[in-house]
Amino acid sequence: MNTLGDISPETELYIGLMSGTSADGIDAALLAIDESQCQLLAHHSVAFDAHLRSQIHALCSGPNTNEIEAAGAMDSHLGELFAEAANTLLSQCQLAPQRISAIGSHGQTIRHRPPGSNPQPFSWQIGDPNIIAARTGITTVADFRRRDIAEGGQGAPLVPAFHAAVFAHPQHNRAIVNLGGIGNISWLAAGAQTLGFDTGPGNNLMDGWILRHRGLAYDANGEWGASAEANPELLAQLLKHPYLSLPIPKSTGREDFHLGWLDVQLENFTTLQPAQVQATLALFTAETIARHITQCPKADAGGELYLCGGGAHNALLKQHIASLLPRFSVESTAELGIDPDWVEAAAFAWLAQRRLKGLPGNLPSATGARRAAPLGAVYPA
């Protein structure tokens, strides 16, 4: 991470705010962005408590009683929390709001229904950007996904454009694998078109399973999963999920991969111990990633694979991925200059900068949109 003292007063600064599918908290990242650089300068995170997290998950699973009331109230509440995270980051960096060109806020996804899953596709993120702009005094860009859907795209993943801008190499094939609640890949083959798509579950099934059985938010370093053997019959059953055989580009979410779905898959595996299920879920995530990467052009030549997101800290996942993809080196994006915990927040700071410059933020090769377009709505301070 760079220091603020290294940055010219003329350099534009942006803040990215992100809460992912896991709904475990807010990541706030401060970036310096111009035509020649995209540097992570500082960051701050805010964890959601168990009650708030369960409320968000309830909105994601719907339908619920008084769902519109609950969504409206949560939209306002999260707007305040996102604003507070940005203000705390500013305070820690001793920066005035006027020094920040814009905030890019992804918000919190509560429903993602891309084309093919709904006659009227949509993607809904909450965390009111009006509140963020009002509380911080900083122009805020939000609602990034719906323009891509309006252009015929999936609305996801949006990070491949950022990955291509900051991580691509002219001679090396690179895969950037984000292991958030849902897994996604940016395929950056040397001299070829960038591809991007969701692979299926990232951490969300493992997180939900360990929370149910051990009261923990996540499997630290994959240690619980590593304490047992994966069950090959259950793995084969999980790999039958229809999403996994859909052609790319494609996107998914908690609507497809959740504990309710897992419980149905487990109906014929009642003798398995919880740790065995956790071990199988880790291998399931790794298998979905490996199988999708091997479908990408030039993947048979191997290359470099870089992990980001919370799953980058799961040693068991990393071990499985490396074993399944022996032609690839497997590291984290820290090797490329951005800590794996802050890549997604950084991406939305970058997307905000693109929006203010009137530049496209999506990649049709990743989302399936008819054309590249500026993403996001602008909420002036």
Q: What is the pTM of this model?
A: 0.93
How high is the pLDDT of residue 294? 96
Confidence bin at 3 (pLDDT 50/70/90): low
Count of CB atoms within 10 A of residue 83's CB? 25
Mean pLDDT of 122-138: 98
* Structure confidence by residue, pLDDT tens digits, 131-171: 999 999 999 999 999 999 999 999 999 999 999 999 999 99
* Structure confidence by residue, pLDDT tens digits, 104-113: 999 999 999 9
Cα separation, 144 vs 192, whole angstroms: 26
Residue 290 has pLDDT above 50, yes or no: yes
Mean pLDDT of 39-50: 96
* Structure confidence by residue, pLDDT tens digits, 183-208: 999 999 998 999 999 999 999 999 99
Cα separation, 256 vs 52, whole angstroms: 22
* Structure confidence by residue, pLDDT tens digits, 253-283: 988 999 999 999 999 999 999 999 999 999 9
SS (H, E, C) the chain: CCCHHHCCCCCCEEEEEEECCCCCEEEEEEEEEECCEEEEEEEEEEECCHHHHHHHHHHHHCCCCCHHHHHHHHHHHHHHHHHHHHHHHHHHHCCCHHHEEEEEEEEEEEEEECECCECCCEEEEECCHHHHHHHHCCCEEECCHHHHHHCCCCCCCCHHHHHHHHHCCCCCCEEEEEECCEEEEEEECCCCCCEEEEEEECCHHHHHHHHHHHCCCCCHHHHHHHCCCCCHHHHHHHCCCHHHHCCCCCCCCCCCCCHHHHHHHHHHCCCCCHHHHHHHHHHHHHHHHHHHHCCCCCHHHCEEEEEECHHHHCHHHHHHHHHHCCCEEEEEHHHHCCCHHHHHHHHHHHHHHHHHCCCCCCCHHHHCCCCCCCCCEEECC
Return the percentage of the chain with pLDDT > 90, whole number.
89
Residue 337 has pLDDT above 70, yes or no: yes
Residue 321 has pLDDT above 90, yes or no: yes
Confidence bin at 118 (pLDDT 50/70/90): confident
The domains found in the chain, sorted by start residue, are 4-155+342-379 (3.30.420.40), 159-336 (3.30.420.40)
How high is the pLDDT of residue 2? 47
Residue 61 has pLDDT above 90, yes or no: no
Which residues, 6 or more positions from 287, have their beta carbon under 8 angstroms from its beta carbon?
A: 235, 239, 320, 324
The values of phi and psi at residue 17, to 5°, are -120, 135
Residue 9 has pLDDT above 90, yes or no: no
Confidence bin at 1 (pLDDT 50/70/90): very low
The values of phi and psi at residue 178, to 5°, are -90, 120
- Report the mean per-residue pLDDT for the chain: 95
CA atoms within 13 A on the CB side of 147: 20
Helix 274-293 × helix 315-324 angle, to 10° = 40
**Which of 28-37, 170-179, 193-202, 306-315 has the weakest average pLDDT?**
28-37
Cα separation, 174 vs 68, whole angstroms: 42
How high is the pLDDT of residue 7? 77
Return the percentage of the chain with pLDDT > 70, whole number.
98
